[in-house]
Structure 1
Amino acid sequence: MNPIFDHTILKLIQVAISLFAGVLFLQSGFDKVIDFSGNKSYIQNVFAKTFLSGVSTVLFIVITILEVAAGITSFLGGVYYFVEGQADFAVLGLELAALAILSLFTGQRIAKDYAGAASLVSYFLLMAFGLYLYSLQG
């Protein structure tokens, strides 16, 4: 096993992206859990005039679970990769994060919140770049 401070720049960037995704989705997911009724009402209002209005509560629960899972897996996966050099959980976390962003992006496009959808592009690109960097381990 390598000493804990024996890391390459590539590894440090990979870990930083994983930790970033972890913080992003833990905060977002836990905010939805803590203020469940407020966030659910907001989502119901956003999708009230779309074909998703009847399932907005179910979709809200699904995205909440997805965000919390992406956050936990990304954060702990990044720490585990930093300490042990095993990247599987970090990669899974970034895959879940990319899926969560795609889901949020799709919802915002359906709700015609084009500015909100556009703001997610940079997050998606960061997750895709992180996945690419993890693929370089080969």
Structure 2
Amino acid sequence: MIQVAPLLILALLAITFLQSGYDKIKDWKGNVAWLTGHFEKSILAKQVPLALGIILLLEIVAGVLCVSGIIQHVIQDVVIRGLGFYGAILSCITLLMLLFGQRLAKDYDGARTIVIYFIPAVLAVFWLS
């Protein structure tokens, strides 16, 4: 029997990270410029392009793993510790990195928004473990 709740959370994470990754690729220069200003008073000020590249890679891999997990779950018709589980874990790690950055930048509203995504990501890890 297909469990819908983990699939919905994996879909949420996949959409979130794949769209975010796509936006970073499409407007790399704009993102670097905005984030350079955002982090100008933090220890990340000179590391923005590198940090953005790392986050981009993590977002794309997490999104692809979440999509793959949905497909695996539907095909195998069982919740297992498979690709979706690893996608959910990578999503949590990525969100923690983003949260750390927002806290360094003293953007507490941005940090609060990330926590909203983190809660279902942790729930997905729990359900898929």
- TM tier, smaller: over 0.9
* Alignment partner of 1:40 out of 24, 32, 45: 32
CA contact (8 A) 1:66 1:96 kept: yes
CA shift for structure 1 position 87:
4.1
Cα offsets for 1:76-119 (capped at 9, x unmatched): 21122121245410001001111111011000000000001011
Distance 1:77 1:87 in 2: 9
How many residue pairs match? The answer is 127
TM-score (norm 2): 0.93
The AA in structure 2 aligned to 1:29 is G
The AA in structure 1 aligned to 2:32 is K
The SS at the match of 1:53 is coil
Distance 1:118 1:48 in 2: 21
The SS at the match of 2:42 is coil
Distance 2:74 2:32 in 1: 36
1:101 equivalent in alignment to 2:120: no
Partner residue, 1:27: 19
Q: CA RMSD in A?
A: 1.2
Distance 1:54 1:45 in 2: 11
* Alignment partner of 1:50 out of 38, 42, 48: 42
TM-score (norm 1): 0.87
1:70 equivalent in alignment to 2:69: no
The AA in structure 2 aligned to 1:55 is Q
Distance 1:134 1:89 in 2: 10
* Alignment partner of 1:132 out of 113, 126, 129: 126
Distance 2:4 2:35 in 1: 37
Distance 2:24 2:59 in 1: 9
